[in-house]
Chain A
Amino acid sequence: MASFKPTKIQVYPKLGEKVTQDTLYWKNYKAPVQIKEFGAVTSIDFSPVTPHNFAVTAFTRIHIYGPFSQEPVKSFTRFKDTAYCGRFRSDGQLLVAGCEDSVVRLFDVSGKVALRLFKGHTKAVHLTDFTSDRYQILTGSDDYTCRLWDIPNATELTTYTEHTDYIRCGVTSKLNRDLFITGSYDHTVKLFDARVEKSVITMDHGQPVESVLLYPSEGLLVSAGGRHVKVWDLLKGGQPLVSLKNHHKTVTSLALSSNGQRLLSASLDRHVKVYNTTNYKVVHNFDYAASILSLGLAPDDASIVVGMTNSILSIKHRKNQEDSKEIAGQQRRRPSYRVFVKGKNYVPKQDDYLVSKPVKEHLAKYDKQLQRFNVSKALDTALGTYIRFRKPEITVAVIKELDRRGTLKNALAGRDERGLSQLLNFIIGNLVDARFTPVLVTAAEMILDIYQSVIGQSPVVDRQLLRLQDLVKREIEFQKDLLEVLGMLDTMFASSLPRKEVPCSGHFEKERCKF
């Protein structure tokens, strides 16, 4: 004797984005902390030393935030005009920033007044950085020049005037004190060696360069400008490796996750995209409320800081691993569960004689009704509120099963106004779902057949029938439109594909020759 085979519930593929290891990782952040700054946030830089404070450059101020504070732990306000590019030195003691008034200021992180002023540029300075020997400063300016300064004497060491447009970004090598890279609005990225007079490598990005980034190994360089993010191999003399075009507005900022496995790019299109650095595919995407100007990633990816044009600074902190686990564990261990598993997890010893009890098969309620051939009741059970709204696939599966048994008509018939309107509601709600359409169309036809004679007696049902009619009409229109589009696409594909001759059977050819 075979046991009753329960109704098979079709498993439909989950719609929407797939859950991957990356999405799990990047979604594991708390709700963002939002801080209002005084103007557009143009730069975010994390201190290389613990506790990894970060400097936020916005309008005429630079604020320094601690890892957990929502108030700035320090602020530098002595700027005459908009400040740019506040950067920490590698020991976290000094901070340098450019300014719209062409003066570069050097601060002690614990002090308040600028230690040094570097004057020499003629226009706004958007790029400042320390070299790896910690005694020099690199600056780049809108006057097309980039300069190296000596910190102790506050004197200019070298000036490079190779760029032909604003210099808006740059980075110094962490490994070699003489190497630095600048990106300019003249579409080029140049690698300079302080020991020689001119640039060593020039790479053409194709668009005004907004941001450059060096890999920790400094073999690879990433540049962002326009909608493109490009990766260059410096060891091969600036050979382009990959060009990514995943944003639909200018990419403004780049960051690298702490282990170097993921690259993040922020853009004016309000998205931050996460790339896998082995295959350069987008693995995750963050949405923000406004265009993003700057992006910072704390060491160990502990927090993501984003500065936007609407002068809002958004900080996302990583969730604590232990917290989430404990919550899940607590949910499982309820007292009723302990009663439920009592004795069931007992492992029989070697000499024990095991009396096995026949396992009682659990059947869902609708299956129990189906087993007894109570078709109407089975449908009623499947139309219960929870199932109807949360798991429509179960309701549809039961309708399908009834149809297969040839008893769907019996199950649908003999319903009062309430029952019928409930049924119609379900059909209206799910009819256009492509997964359910074939089943529900049959059911809808049957309902119309059965209740044809009583149409017009209940205003509720009539209204629903009209809605159903409307729905079907609209759906047919959509389908027509879609078919038209499909036809257009087909012609386009057909014309774009190269025609290829298929070698024909020789025999056939010969035959044709004969004629």
Chain B
Amino acid sequence: MVEHGDIRVVHCGGSKINFRDPVITHDSRFLLCASGEAVKVFSTSTEECIHELRGHTGLVTGVLLRPSNHLQVYSSSLDGTLRLWDFTDGILIKTCVIGYPIYSFYASDKHENVIFIVASMPSDKRAERFQLVAVHLPQSGDQMVEAQELSAVLSGVNPNPAAIAFGRGGEFIASVNDLQLEVYFFKKQKSYRFFLKEDNKKGGWNTFTCVACHPKDDCIATGHEDGKIRLWRNFNHKKEYTYSTLHWHHSTVSSLCFTPEGTNLLSGGVESVLVQWRYNQESERDFLPRLGGAITHITVSPDGSLFCTSHSDNKITIIQSCVKVSAVIQGLVKGDSIRTDLMMDPRSKALVLNGKPGHLQFYSLQRDKLLYNLDIVQQEYIHESGLQQFEVVKAAFDASGSWLATVEERHQKAAELELNLKLWAFDEQTQSFVLNTTISAPHDAQITAMCFCQPTDSQTTLLVSTSKDGHFKAWQLAAPAHTEGTDDEGPSWLCDFVSAYHGLVPECCSFSADGSLLAVVFQEVVTVWSPSTWELLTTLSQPPGAVSDLCFGRLSCSKYLLGTTASNLLCWNLLTCSLEWTTSMDVRRLVADPLSENMAAFCYQSGSTDLFVFKPSEPRPLFSHKAVCSGKVTQAVFAPREEMLESCEESSQWLNRSQLYFLTQQMDLMTFTTKAEEDRLLASSKQLVIDDSVAMTPFYLLLGKHRQQQQEHQDSDSSLWAERTALPQTSASMKELLQTPAHVLPSTSYLCSMFVQSLLISVSDAREEKAHAEEEMESEKEEEDSEEEMESSRSKPELAAAAATESDTPALTKAQARELRRVRKLDHSWLAGLLDS
């Protein structure tokens, strides 16, 4: 067992984009949102990610446009730094070190160079006490500055960014926490506190959840856990404050936002309905229902033309202010639990797993993009907590990807289990799956496993499902036996065979690679059936313990059948029907590579998971990796690569044909990469950087190519011109000077000498210089040799070079040449002197 340094475990798949509220730029062209340790810049029109602002070393907790320069953006992170970026070019301008983890931050026009951050101060005894701190940004040109001037404004604030808001151009700041609204006036340096009763019947109903301030009026809107919105007025008096209540939401209001002109108030919550209230005419409301998951944040573009809502299903919806959805940015949906296994769609090579409730998501691993969500349940989703919903619990693809089988179930405590088996056919025309057959209640109890018969060449497709009711059933596609009056009836799926084995519960099933054998595990007994005759061929047994996972070997190892128990990994030889070998390890997941003999086993050992990759025929594992991640790994899949890797290292050969993905207990998608591959990816990503801010769309490719050609043409023109005038070729520094935006460049005085230098030192000069240096040495030698004629010492290329430079005088005498050399030497020293000055 060798540890391999060059194979690394890396995160895969986009991180959350709904963690904090996104920001829309002034021109409404870009949308910036915090995503893991980076800030992503999306185009609002094409939904594409243009670039990422990378540099933070901790989770990014906030993005804010710089009030004084709308082409720059601040970002805060848990690593204790504020960073200022130019988002159009993706350049880091300044880093400001605060020193404490920043949970959220705010800025306003009125307070220039002051940023208000929410941080937990270590001076506090209790770790959970958060403070709102004003940070004066030091005015210095350095890239890296440390903020010194910190002054606490409010203490005991909520770290949730929605709980604090600036009012009326920054005159006051409102903060809500628990049952208290606190308003701090900067001018008076005084804060007012307002308390609500706890609604004594059911505690915590009046709890504040979010706050928003009217941009022009003295009005604060607060959202509450019971779905009410309160509009506070006259709050600069301790006693005479008033509030009015709006109630539409049935559960927690999670986000509130005023439009920039203050004419509308937007609110959203669990219901996933965007409600637009007219300010001062609150009875008039507009609704935008069924946006997806619960709304977590609402933001409005500075000109008020675009709204944007973040949803709990890792989605950002961009809405035009006429309440029409214009774009949807969707990330990989991370549910609480992935009930279906990780799967590969054989057609699109996309990773398939549970997505939104009742959906399967198809996630392209190559492009790191969610392709689409397939609605499996096809029912109106009711946004209500505590409601038992239909969930997709099992899914399986057949080998060619033309059939998809899904199982959905809904289990209510009192009622019976509701179970549906659905079979979806791939429709070539619409390029998506179309429901073919719905079998309600295919089994009496939960379905434990499901698999398709794998061979691609066979005519009939067979699906086997095993259930806790003790039966396993085989389903087959059958042509309609009768024309049912309607002529559009295609073939549908029917139950072909039902069997049980001594009333034991089947746990899993597997088809051999050629489809000639079916193995079904009945607790401790592995039964092997022939799918063509439905005969029980043999039973295999092992040291006691229920078999939990089953896998047939492939290609040259197809005679082996592997199974796992709680303490052992077992391998049977199907030719002798006996146990070939067994090792004692707690294998949680066994996956077979569809393209090779390799198998991967995830073993759980003392709090972390180890990976072993092996061939059933060889006792020594090909690769092992200790402590891949903490917790158990129960879902993994081999994804075939688009192009094979050419790695010849023994340890990483198993990654050549396919890549291994797995889900950790924290529902993070991870994968294994080799160093070579990473380098390649890095290189390709550099190539892919688009200099223009326009997103890479097919349209752009069409027009952009044309423009590029024009540019190239110009370039070639200019290069021609450059050659003619014998100007020095564009050096790196010149390029840098011309292409960097002016506002990020150093001072002109510093640049000038660099520029001039770059003009002087051309490539040809350098060559000549070299030649000169050689000649000098030679001449010195010659001098040492005192007039000795050493023609032979001069190499031929030099002669040619000399001939080229003095082509008008091809025939030079020796003396003349020496003279010339001396002259040149003089000349050069003078030039060098000039350079140095």
Contacts and interface: CB of A to CB of B under 8 A. Distances in A.
A497 to B, nearest CB: 13
* For the complex of A and B, 4 pairs with smallest distance between CB atoms: A507-B578, A18-B482, A508-B541, A5-B380
A505 interface: yes
A347 to B, nearest CB: 21
Interface string A291-319: 00000000000000000000000000000
B577 A507 contact: yes
A24 to B, nearest CB: 9
A10 B291 CA distance: 27
Interface majority SS on B: helix, strand, loop or mixed? loop
Given A404-B388, A505-B577, 17 more contacts: A1-B288, A2-B290, A2-B292, A5-B378, A5-B379, A6-B380, A8-B379, A19-B484, A20-B482, A406-B388, A502-B536, A502-B538, A502-B539, A504-B538, A505-B538, A505-B578, A506-B578
Contact of B577 (A7, A404, A503): A503
Contacts of A405: 382, 384, 387
Contacts of B92: none
Contacts of B415: 403, 438, 442
Given A1-B325, A2-B290, A506-B577, A406 B384 contact: yes
Contacts of B538: 502-505
Contacts of B291: 1
Interface string A303-347: 000000000000000000000000000000000000000000000
Chain A interface extent, by class: 20 to 34
A442 B413 CA distance: 12
A1 B289 contact: yes
18 contacts: A1-B288, A1-B291, A5-B380, A10-B440, A18-B484, A19-B483, A20-B482, A405-B387, A406-B382, A406-B388, A438-B415, A502-B538, A505-B538, A505-B579, A507-B540, A507-B577, A507-B578, A510-B578
A20 B483 contact: yes
A20 B389 CA distance: 40
Interface of B: 288-292, 325, 378-380, 382, 384, 386-390, 410, 414-416, 440, 481-485, 536-542, 572, 576-579
A7 B389 CA distance: 15
Nearest to B525: A505
Interface string A59-77: 0000000000000000000
Contacts of A19: 482-485
Nearest to A445: B414
A404 B484 contact: no
Contacts of B388: 404, 406
B440 A404 contact: no
Given A3-B290, A405-B387, A442 B414 contact: yes
Could you say which of B380, B481, B541 has the most chain A C-beta atoms within 10 Å of its C-beta?
A: B380
A259 interface: no
B488 to A, nearest CB: 13
A443 to B, nearest CB: 11
Contacts of A404: 379, 382, 388-390, 410
Contacts of B578: 505-507, 510
Interface string A1-42: 111111110100010001111000000000000000000000
B747 to A, nearest CB: 53
A21 B578 CA distance: 54
Contacts of A401: 379
Contacts of B484: 14, 18-19
A169 interface: no
A423 interface: no
B537 A503 contact: yes
Contacts of A274: none
B416 A406 contact: no
Interface of A: 1-8, 10, 14, 18-21, 370, 401, 403-406, 438, 442, 502-508, 510
Contacts of B579: 505, 507
A118 B142 CA distance: 135
Nearest to B441: A438
Nearest to B540: A505
Nearest to A407: B382
Contacts of A510: 578
Nearest to A6: B380
Nearest to A437: B416
B416 A438 contact: yes
A406 B412 CA distance: 10
Nearest to A446: B414
Given A1-B289, A19-B484, A507 B541 contact: yes
Nearest to A504: B539
A1 B290 contact: yes
Contact of B481 (A1, A18, A406): A18
A506 B388 CA distance: 48
A1 B577 CA distance: 57
Contacts of A3: 290
A2 B289 CA distance: 8
Contacts of B416: 438
A370 B537 contact: no
A10 B390 CA distance: 16
B355 to A, nearest CB: 14
B576 A506 contact: yes
Contacts of B289: 1
Contact of B380 (A1, A4, A504, A508): A4
Contacts of B390: 404
Contacts of A506: 576-578
B423 to A, nearest CB: 15
A399 to B, nearest CB: 12
A370 B577 contact: no
A4 B485 contact: no
Contacts of A406: 382, 384, 386-388
Nearest to B317: A1
A510 B542 CA distance: 12
A508 B538 CA distance: 12
A503 B389 CA distance: 45
Nearest to B379: A5
Nearest to B323: A1
A438 B417 CA distance: 10
Nearest to B358: A5
A103 B31 CA distance: 109
A506 B325 CA distance: 66
A10 B484 CA distance: 17
A19 B483 CA distance: 7
Contacts of A442: 414-415
Contacts of B387: 405-406
Contacts of B540: 505, 507-508
Contacts of B577: 503, 505-507
Nearest to B538: A503
A227 B775 CA distance: 124
A505 B539 contact: yes
Contacts of B485: 19
A329 to B, nearest CB: 18
Nearest to A17: B482
Contacts of A503: 537-539, 577
Nearest to A22: B482
B573 to A, nearest CB: 10
Contacts of A1: 288-291, 325
